[in-house]
Amino acid sequence: MNETSIQQAIDKFKQTIYSYIHHPSLLSYTGKPVLNENQLFYLLLPFFNEEQWTEEHFESAVTAAIVSTALYEHEKISEQGGISITQQVVVLAGDFYSGRYYEVLAHQGNFSMIRALSEAIVKRCEQQIQVYEGQLTTCNEWLHAMMTVESEHVTQFYNNYQFTQYREIAEQSLLYLRLQSELRAHETNEASLLLMRMLEQGITIAALEQQLQELGNRIATDIASSSIRPMLKKLLAARIEQNKVALTPLMKEV
C-alpha cells in the first residue's frame, strides 16, 4: 500500500467509527468526538502490512478505537468546581461510546475481544489513578503510564489476534508521538494533567527531551530490523522522522 491508499483507508475507518457512535443530541452539546489518527494508523497496521484481515478484524479495530474515544471523553471533565450541564453530557457521551463498543462485540459473540478491551480499560484507568494520586516517581514510571494511556487498547487488539509482532513498534511510536505533542503543548501552556503531574514530581523538560531522542532512535532501529514490508517501513520511519524534524526548533529554544 502506498501513502495515498493508507490515508484513504484511515479516512474510511474514521467514517465507520463515527457511524457507530453518532448521536444528534450528544453532537449538539459536545461536538464531534475526537479520534486520534495516530492510534487509528497503528490499529490498522497489520492490514497495511497485508496480514490476513477479515470483517471481524475490522469491526474489532473499530471497537478498540471507540473505547479510546470513550475514555478521552471522560478525561475532559474538570476536576474543580461543580459539574455543568455540558460536563454531564460529556460523561454521558463517554458512557454511550463505551456501551456501543460492548453492544457491537456482544452482537457478534466476540467475547474474547470484550475481555481484551475490558482489560485495556482496567489497565488504563489504573495508570490514570496513579497519575491523579501522584503515586509515580521515576521518569520511566511516568512514561510507562503515558504509553499505557496512549496505546493499551491497540496492544490488547494485537494480543487478541496474534499481531504481537507489531506491538513494540506501536507502543513505542505512540509514546513518542504523545510525548512530542506534550512538549509542544508545554510551550504554549496547554500541557495535559499527566505532564503537569510529571513536572510537579521533579521530572524536567530536559530529561523528557533526552528520552524523546533516545526513543526515536530505538524506534528507527526496530523498524529497520522488523519483518514489515519495505514500503511500509519507509512510511513508519517517515512518521517518526517528520516529528523529529518538527521538534528540533523547540528543543533548541528550551
Q: Could you read off the pLDDT of 108-138 as tens digits, one per residue?
A: 889 999 999 989 988 988 888 888 787 888 9
CA 29/CA 86 separation, integer angstroms: 6
Q: Is residue 145 a contact partner of residue 194, using CB atoms and an 8 Å limit?
A: yes
At residue 218, the pLDDT reads 95
Q: How many domains does the chain have?
A: 1
Q: Could you read off the pLDDT of 13-27 as tens digits, one per residue?
A: 999 998 888 666 556
Please, what sign has the CA dihedral across residues 170, 174, 176, 177?
positive
At residue 130, the pLDDT reads 86
Measured CA to CA in angstroms, residue 67 lies from 20, 59, 87, 152, 174 at distances of 12, 13, 19, 10, 16
The parent domain of residue 119 ranges over 3-253
At residue 122, the pLDDT reads 86
Q: What is the mean pLDDT of residues 98-103?
A: 70
Q: Is the pTM of this model over 0.75?
A: yes
Closest by CA to 66, choosing from 7, 153, 6, is 153
Give the CA count within 13 Å in the CB-facing half-sphere of 77: 18
Mean pLDDT of the chain: 84
CA 152/CA 117 separation, integer angstroms: 9
The more confidently predicted of residues 204 and 30 is: 204
Q: What is the mean pLDDT of residues 127-153?
A: 90
Q: Could you read off the pLDDT of 41-65 as tens digits, one per residue?
A: 999 999 999 999 999 999 999 999 9
Q: Could you read off the pLDDT of 62-89 as tens digits, one per residue?
A: 999 988 887 776 565 544 444 554 555 5
Grid coordinates belonging to 18: 463515527
* Domain CATH for 122: 1.10.600.10
The more confidently predicted of residues 99 and 185 is: 185
pLDDT of 230 > 50? The answer is yes
The more confidently predicted of residues 145 and 74 is: 145
CA 219/CA 167 separation, integer angstroms: 12
Q: How confident is the model at residue 96 (pLDDT cuts 50, 70, 90)?
A: low
Residue whose cell numbers read 475507518:
13
Closest by CA to 141, choosing from 181, 198, 184, is 198
- List CB contacts of 82: < 8 A, sequence separation 6 or more: none
pLDDT of 165 > 90? The answer is yes
Measured CA to CA in angstroms, residue 234 lies from 60, 101, 150, 226, 242 at distances of 27, 33, 23, 12, 12
Q: What is the share, in percent, of the chain residues with pLDDT greater than 90?
A: 56
The more confidently predicted of residues 153 and 135 is: 153
pLDDT of 30 > 80? The answer is no
